[in-house]
Amino acid sequence: MSIEVRQVVRRFTAETAALNDVTFRVEEGELIGFLGPSGSGKTTLLRLIAGLDQPTSGEIRIRGQVVNQVPPQRRGVGVVFQNYALFRHMTVFDNIAFGLRVQKRDKAFIRERVHTLLELVRLSGLESRYPHQLSGGQAQRVALARALAPEPSVLLLDEPFAAIDTKIRRELRKWVRKIHDEIGITSIFVTHDQEEALEIADRVLVMNQGRLEQLGTPEEVYHQPKSLFVANFVGEANHGQGTVERGKLVVGPLMFSVDQADGAKLSVVFRPSDVQLSPVGGERGNSVNAEGEIIHLTYKGTYYTADVRLQGGMQIQASLSPDQTAALGVGSRVGIHVKRVLMFDSEGRALPTENAVAVGAV
């Protein structure tokens, strides 16, 4: 079912708005990730959609109908929260059956539906256990089955795996994606973990201080961030500031050619994966923008991150393949070439990316 949020404001106090004029639309069958730092308004927004809270102003529509006055149990939404929130004195079976009993379904129907869901969440055989006899991951799968039992058309998940180990969390998120695809439900997945949002969602909605910064595909928010905030929050980022002088922006020892008036104060962001390092003394084409020294290497599993100190003291990060690290180690002098750079005006709004080219050493 489609969900529309129109000019929604939610104030808890007179001074600040937890949500400030938020407008967007989720299409039927989409999986949207809400991504933002703690306190940015993700849970508030989710609760408004679920009907657990009311907007101060603005409208929420589900399948085109305004639902501001519709109570949660009649909105057709299933919700899973971070803290397992299972009924502790009830078995797995009874937890999952809870919503069906509220709907006054008959016994045979409930039995069959609970068993189907147990299979879906891969917990068959554990129906007689109590919540304290489950691992964190299992408990969250029960919470998911319970939310899905009444066949909601919208599934809302608020940091469902935040308290679970990285490896299991990764498996669980893949598996939520699979369930979402199988049952064709419209879903919202809240997380403060950018990797999780980029990996699971069709589109990512980035929040900052109660405002929607950007709604786009994972590729869009990563490669074409609309704001400095999004560029820094999504993905690894090197950043710096400078002032335009005669068509050039000087950031430490790096110089970028820009199509902006002299005196403009701009910010730049470039990804470690867009920084190329080459040994000094080797070939030195026009593509070297500055020189520096590798001061630290961090192993990241399939690649390394090099901390590089440039002339003048500015530090940046660059990604290195294991092959490259064989030739370049801590203490190596390197040439630096920035392949791609994002630029932002003094208010943090993105300038067109074609605008900037790294042009060589100062």
Ligand X SMILES: Nc1ncnc2c1ncn2[C@@H]1O[C@H](COP(=O)(O)OP(=O)(O)O)[C@@H](O)[C@H]1O
Distance CA 336, CA 291 (A): 6
Would you call 70 exposed, middle or buried from its count of C-beta atoms within 10 A (0-12, 13-18, 19+)?
Answer: middle
**Minimum CB distance to ligand X smaller for 38 or for 286:** 38
CB 40, min distance to ligand X, A: 4
Adjacent-strand bridge partners of 294: 308
Q: Does 302 contact ligand X by CB under 6 A?
A: no
Would you call 264 exposed, middle or buried from its count of C-beta atoms within 10 A (0-12, 13-18, 19+)?
Answer: middle
How many residues sit in the footprint of ligand X (CB under 6 A)?
A: 10
CB 188, min distance to Mg ion, A: 12
| Stretch near Mg ion under the rule CB under 5 A, chosen from 1-9, 36-44, 56-64, 199-207 | 36-44
Virtual torsion, Cα 223, 226, 227, 230, nearest 10 deg: -50
Nearest to 293 by CA among 275, 313, 274, 273: 313
Show Cβ contacts of residue 43 under 8 Å, excluding neighbours closer than 6 positions. 158, 190
Distance CA 31, CA 29 (A): 7
**Minimum CB distance to ligand X smaller for 17 or for 155:** 17
CB 305, min distance to ligand X, A: 28
Among 3, 22, 43, 55, binds Mg ion (CB under 5 A): 43
Distance CA 187, CA 39 (A): 21
Nearest to 156 by CA among 224, 80, 56: 80
**Minimum CB distance to Mg ion smaller for 34 or for 256:** 34
Among 1, 8, 18, 149, binds ligand X (CB under 6 A): 18
CB 333, min distance to ligand X, A: 44
CB 12, min distance to ligand X, A: 3
**Minimum CB distance to ligand X smaller for 43 or for 324:** 43
Nearest to 30 by CA among 226, 173, 189, 223: 189
CB 10, min distance to ligand X, A: 8
**Minimum CB distance to Mg ion smaller for 34 or for 270:** 34
Q: Does 95 contact ligand X by CB under 6 A?
A: no
Q: Which of Mg ion, ligand X, none sits in contact with 286, Cβ below 5 to 8 A by type?
A: none
CB 39, min distance to Mg ion, A: 8
Show Cβ contacts of residue 87 under 8 Å, excluding neighbours closer than 6 positions. 94, 95, 98, 131
Scan residues 218-277 and list those touching ligand X (CB under 6 A).
none
Site string for ligand X, 19-58 (x = CB under 6 A): -----------------x-xxxxxxx--------------
Instruction: Mark out the alpha helices in the chain (DSSP H runs).
Output: 42-50, 92-102, 107-120, 136-148, 166-183, 194-200, 218-223, 228-233, 322-327
Q: Does 194 contact ligand X by CB under 6 A?
A: no
Q: Which of Mg ion, ligand X, none sits in contact with 41, Cβ below 5 to 8 A by type?
A: ligand X
CB–CB of 187/154 below 8 Å?
yes
Q: Does 289 contact Mg ion by CB under 5 A?
A: no
| Token pair listed for 81 | 């929260």
Q: Which residues bind Mg ion (CB under 5 A)?
A: 42-43
Residues making contact with ligand X (CB under 6 A): 12, 18, 36, 38-44
